[in-house]
Structure 1
Amino acid sequence: MAAAGGAVLCPARLESVRALSGLLREARRRETAEESVFGDLLEILTSASRAIEQSCRESCGLGDVDTCLLLVAECFRCLRNACVECARNQHLLRNLGLIPTSVHLIKLLHGMQVEEELLLPALRCSLQFLGNIAAGNGDSQNSLWKCAFPDLFLLLIFTDHLLQCPELVKALYAKLSNQERVALLELMLAKVGEKSSVSSEELEVLESQAAFLAGCFQEQCGAVLSFAAAPQAQDEEALVTVRLLDVLCELTSSSGQLDRLQALPGLLEAAVDTLRLTHLAGKQAVNVFTATHAVTGQEEVSHPAVGFKSHLIRLIGNLCYKNKENQDKVYELDGIPLILDNCSIDDNNPFVNQWAVFAIRNLTEQNERNQELLAGLEEQGLAEGSALDSMGLEMEKQEGRLILRSARKKPS
């Protein structure tokens, strides 16, 4: 490593960069920071890149690895802070060339043969910086896309690092093709499904992306209707909708932040409306949304929309769990009869009966108006016999209140 580079990476610089990082947390400091300050940070990161490249090229040690990586992490922390709600600094840092420098350094960091604990802070802060510089800034998003896709993007996907930075996910998601979005959502789904092996911090990061994913689902949920006329299921936008719903079901199933997810504006309405539209599409013509029951049980279940209505009902049930406002919202949307109308055995929607039971229980728990509506529908016979009977449920009056309970077994 050159003498100049060594001076730049010396331990004495670490404290001054840490102090700068603290100052840049303040909006006033961010808005008035001089360009030369960011030029110094760029110089440190450039020197770090050269040092790492030299150590790899010559198969020699980096020297004080701890100091180098700590300094890199702190520089990125400064840059991350500088971009928070500050378009001025986003443009300034982009024009200085910090996006390609950062992307190059991230690739080098990932290739270093050192303990993961040493690398993680630098990787995390670098990704947070890229997310913040791209947040709400089209020019920075385009620059990041040119530098990061596909190599860095694929690297981050396969190492799960991408999922640790919500802002970077949002910036890149906007640029992805539908096929690439499906791959990203399937990665998220696998990660959320590994709750037992995911740290609480990682799970919190994934949950923090729920509002963004819910917004994406609301924007394109209608695309799934194309499957009604697509036996071969080639519509990739519709497939994105299916995967968005899968992820949202998992995020709302056992989230420590369920209250926040339940309060997302428009999500519940979108789920109920989409259930109504797919149910209607299945009645108007024979397609994947049509309830079917094969005697042989040998029907193909490879269509991506198989289970879609089940998952909509699951999501509705999750969003109504111990939430009076959402229970009432489903009532107003006339969603209870709709759920009951979808509770029969259906090979196109495995476990739909179980998810309907779950949703109805959540909709009627401590909600007298919903209980009374359900009892009234039961008295009317619900067209083709009792839906509650088919679900193994019954309404019972106790001390003047209606209670939903498991049906008593009748003697044979």
Structure 2
Amino acid sequence: MKKANMAASTNGNLDLSASIAGILNEKHCPEHLLVLKTFTSALRDKEYRDAVEEEAFSSLFKVLSRLCDELQAEAEDEDLGSGALQLQLTAECFRAQRNACVQNTRNQSILRELGFINVTLKLLSFFQNTNLVSRDGIFEPLRCGIQFLGNLAVGNQMCKDEIWQLSFPNLLLQLLSADDEKAVNYASMVLNTCLDEPKVEEMSDPQNIQLALRVMELCRTQPDLDWTVLIATQHFLKSSALVESMYSGMSHHERVTLLELLFAQLREEDTEECGIPPSVARFLASSFHKGCGAVLTLATGSASSDEVLQEALTVISLLDVLCEMTSDLKQFMFLQDHPDLLVTTVELLKQVHAIGKASKNIFSSAQNFSSFGGDGDSSQSPVISFKAHLIRLIGNLCHSNTNNQNKVRELEGIPLILDNCNIDSNNPFISQWAIFAIRNLLEHNMQNQELVAALERRGTADYSALKELGFLVEERDGSLLLKPVRKDS
């Protein structure tokens, strides 16, 4: 019985192969579409797919090449017609090619060797630039052609490399800019499948950066396209050269999107190895140091333009990422030794705190809890939690680090942090972050403990905050000592 099935399959194979070859000798007609649909359908069957003769693919290649020539002629000579049938036939060729590649390395190699990649890319480029009357008819073949490339590339390095060589960067950029969401999604899939570390490095070259920027733009404007987010998190963020190159070429609005993806990646990874290289963390710390003053424009109302506002939001996003990186992720704790980060953060906290006290503005403390999380002003403020996060970063940078503990004391940061132990609806959890920071500043540091004790003696520190920390001030021999509270007291 099996022999009979195989014989029938072989006969069907030969019949279809002859029918496809026959298309080349006739003027196109609807019957040709039926032949191609039969071939497409047959290729869904694994047994047929494994047995199909190379001759059938060779004939299909000639049909596709002829269609390519005819469509280009149609576009140049408006008297020839709309090209509607040719577009349908092209889409069906692509479907057959797509089906032929499913879990079939042999067919992938045959199609590559016959030249299908080149003619397919030629057609896709044509669809993106054509003036055919039947413009709407291009979307079906466009989608099917891109899907074919995706199936061809899966698990086949030679196909990946050839697709990349013939389409990078301009055609890939065109396909990611297509006026069709499905085509863009499929193009993202092809890009993701082809990418590897050397190709990502190529994308960081200035002449190629537009492709990476387009992917990031899609992450911002079409967040439901999963492939672009996957490309950004699994490939882009792992390359410091590309992150730096993209960041330099981005608007502040786009930088916020990049930083949000970085933040999400840091949050989502279960292990300490999130794939983000140390050099990216170093670059972001330097970017925060250089640009952090932009956030101060929000207090004066000088942030009238959207670009100025976005620049301030970039600083806020940088701070969020740096807080997350230094939250006990061992591979980023070298940021404690960054030459500027701690000083910059303490100085910025001083400025923000002073501005907030000088007059009522966006940095002022508030007790407006009824509107928090609702429709009130506090929930809409771009600087919600900004001061709290500055204090959090200082606490992180001082954890088990004597040099930084001492540096904060020298910068007069300890009284500043103690002055932020009060509840503030503009900075939820600021008192908790202040207590956390003070704990890290006092741990195993007698000079800092003595300073806080002296502040308490002068009445300039909030002793209730120290109690929450588990410390009490005790007078002994005429001087004040800071002591931990015994658990049984």
Cα gap change, 1:122 to 1:375, in 2 (>3 Å):
same
The aligned counterpart of 2:202 is: 129
Identity over the aligned pairs, expressed in percent?
Answer: 34
* Distance (whole Å) between structure 2 residues aligned to residue 334 and residue 106 of structure 1: 52
The aligned counterpart of 2:394 is: 316
Cα gap change, 1:268 to 1:404, in 2 (>3 Å):
farther
From 214, 222, 228, give the equivalent of 1:150.
Answer: 214
* C-alpha displacement of 1:341: 1.2
From 287, 294, 303, give the equivalent of 1:223.
Answer: 294
Unaligned 5+ residue runs, structure 1?
3-43, 80-95, 135-140
* Distance (whole Å) between structure 2 residues aligned to residue 153 and residue 124 of structure 1: 21
From 216, 225, 230, give the equivalent of 1:159.
Answer: 230
Q: Secondary structure at the match of 1:291?
A: coil
Cα gap change, 1:257 to 1:52, in 2 (>3 Å):
farther
Give 1:264-343 correspondences, 5 Å limit: 264-294=338-368, 296=370, 300-343=378-421
The aligned counterpart of 1:209 is: 280
Q: Secondary structure at the match of 1:205?
A: coil
Q: Which amino acid aligns with 2:157?
A: L
Q: Secondary structure at the match of 1:274?
A: helix
* C-alpha displacement of 1:48: 9.5
* Distance (whole Å) between structure 2 residues aligned to residue 227 and residue 62 of structure 1: 47
Cα gap change, 1:71 to 1:289, in 2 (>3 Å):
same
* Distance (whole Å) between structure 1 residues aligned to residue 212 and residue 350 of structure 2: 41
Unaligned 5+ residue runs, structure 2?
1-56, 59-111, 125-143, 178-182, 220-226
Q: Which amino acid aligns with 1:323?
A: N
* C-alpha displacement of 1:270: 0.6
Q: Within the alignment, does 1:69 sit opposite 2:157 as a pair?
A: yes
The aligned counterpart of 2:4 is: none
Q: Secondary structure at the match of 1:343?
A: coil
Moved more, 122-131 or 272-281: 122-131
Cα gap change, 1:262 to 1:409, in 2 (>3 Å):
same
Q: Normalised by the size of structure 1, how large is the TM-score?
A: 0.67
Q: Within the alignment, does 1:248 sit opposite 2:322 as a pair?
A: yes
Q: 2:399 touches 2:440 (CA, 8 Å); kept in 1?
A: yes
Q: Within the alignment, does 1:172 sit opposite 2:240 as a pair?
A: no
* C-alpha displacement of 1:375: 1.2
Cα gap change, 1:187 to 1:339, in 2 (>3 Å):
same
Query: Higher relative contact order by CA 8 Å / sep ≥ 6: 1 or 2?
Result: 1
Q: Which amino acid aligns with 1:144?
A: N
Q: Secondary structure at the match of 2:292?
A: helix
Q: 1:314 touches 1:359 (CA, 8 Å); kept in 2?
A: yes
The aligned counterpart of 2:333 is: 259
Q: 2:299 touches 2:355 (CA, 8 Å); kept in 1?
A: yes
Q: 1:207 touches 1:257 (CA, 8 Å); kept in 2?
A: yes
Cα gap change, 1:297 to 1:380, in 2 (>3 Å):
farther
* C-alpha displacement of 1:262: 1.1
* C-alpha displacement of 1:258: 3.8
Q: 1:245 touches 1:312 (CA, 8 Å); kept in 2?
A: yes
Moved more, 212-221 or 58-67: 58-67
Q: 1:227 touches 1:238 (CA, 8 Å); kept in 2?
A: yes
* Distance (whole Å) between structure 2 residues aligned to residue 376 and residue 274 of structure 1: 25
Q: 1:157 touches 1:184 (CA, 8 Å); kept in 2?
A: no
From 194, 208, 211, give the equivalent of 2:268.
Answer: 194
Q: Secondary structure at the match of 2:471?
A: strand
Q: Which amino acid aligns with 1:211?
A: R
